[in-house]
């Protein structure tokens, strides 16, 4: 991990004209930089965000700056019904999807629950991306060169996954532990998706977007936000490096058959051992399908 943080990253300048990319969480930070970078390389953009006003403004900027198609869907990822509706809309649209980037995520310092009594970070960071990926697989298979990228995090190293207490009803919750568990769950299902997609031409990989400035954590209290703005942010890089890395993962010809890998930006890296436990991975796959209403 440390060596990759200092290593030179890969780059490519592949034009994506004629390709359509669906991205989540694109009104700021990593998602916004990815949308701009992909649009600069002539990809059509479909955003999935929770804020309509910000989405309209973002689309206007993409269209006027890069002269590509840009559309958006509204879905609150704490509400799985809305995630299902977004996936269903995409499935029934005449849009060909070439690239799916699940970027939306959040970090909470305290345990909170959704209206469905799901721990919020687990719901947003894992279940929402799981639903979109699962429900869009068949559509993606219609284009055998399509790619799926799960924006994960080195935060998966903070904590493993306790599948008997996903809602943290029995354990003390901290932000780092909850975030680590959700990102571990996402990684474990990436390996399952990769196996399921073998032979289809569709690839799926996960990536850490680098230590960059973003809006993650802005939902927390004033003390956390003050600490983040005055101490954490000054040591973080510009999120444009994440946008460039996501373009590389989405477009580089040398990655056309690479699937089931974890990247630190553009460099392959080995995740923590607890995120490689295939037995637990199969269990969280089944549990996720059940919770998400995909059985």
Catalytic residue numbers, as ranges: 179
The values of phi and psi at residue 268, to 5°, are -65, 135
Strand blocks (E) in 115-226: 147-151, 203-208
The values of phi and psi at residue 271, to 5°, are -70, 175
Cα 218 off chain centre by = 18
Q: How far is CA 41 from CA 12, 16, 45, 66, 167, in A?
A: 10, 5, 11, 8, 41
Q: Which residues 6+ apart lie within 8 Å of 44 measured at CB?
A: 19, 20, 21, 68, 69, 70
* SS3 state at 52: helix
The values of phi and psi at residue 215, to 5°, are -90, 0
CA atoms within 13 A of residue 102's CA, in its CB half-sphere: 28
Q: Report yes or no: 205 and 258 within 8 Å, Cβ to Cβ.
A: yes
Range 199-210 burial, b when 16+ CB lie within 10 A, else e: eebbbbbbbbbb
Q: How far apart are CA 31 and CA 130, in angstroms?
A: 18
């Amino acid at each position: 991990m440390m060596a990759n943080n200092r290593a030179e990253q890969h780059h490519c300048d592949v034009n994506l004209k004629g390709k359509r990319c669906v991205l989540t969480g694109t009104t700021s930070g990593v998602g916004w930089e990815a949308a701009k970078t992909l649009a600069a390389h002539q990809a059509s953009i479909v955003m999935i965000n929770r804020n309509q006003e910000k989405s309209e403004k973002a689309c206007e900027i993409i269209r006027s700056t890069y002269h590509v198609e840009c559309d958006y869907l509204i879905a609150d990822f704490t509400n799985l019904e809305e995630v299902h509706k977004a996936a269903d809309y995409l499935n029934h649209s005449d849009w060909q999807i070439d690239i799916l980037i699940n970027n939306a995520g959040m970090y909470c310092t305290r345990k909170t629950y959704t209206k469905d009594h799901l721990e919020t970070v687990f719901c947003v960071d894992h279940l929402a991306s799981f639903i979109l990926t699962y429900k869009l697989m068949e559509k993606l298979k219609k284009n055998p060169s399509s790619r799926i990228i799960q924006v994960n995090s080195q935060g998966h190293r903070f904590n493993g996954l306790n599948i008997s207490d996903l809602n943290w009803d029995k354990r003390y919750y901290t932000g780092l532990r909850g975030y680590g568990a959700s990102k571990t769950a996402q990684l474990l299902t990436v390996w399952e998706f990769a196996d399921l997609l073998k032979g289809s031409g569709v690839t799926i990989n996960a990536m850490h977007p680098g230590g960059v400035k973003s809006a993650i954590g802005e939902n927390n209290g004033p003390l956390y936000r003050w600490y983040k703005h005055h101490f954490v942010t000054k040591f973080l890089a510009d999120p444009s490096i994440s946008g460039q890395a996501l373009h590389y993962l989405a477009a580089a010809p040398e990655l056309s058959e690479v699937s089931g890998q974890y990247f630190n930006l553009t460099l392959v890296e080995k995740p923590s051992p607890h995120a490689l436990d295939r037995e637990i991975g199969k269990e969280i796959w089944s549990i996720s399908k059940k919770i998400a209403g995909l059985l």
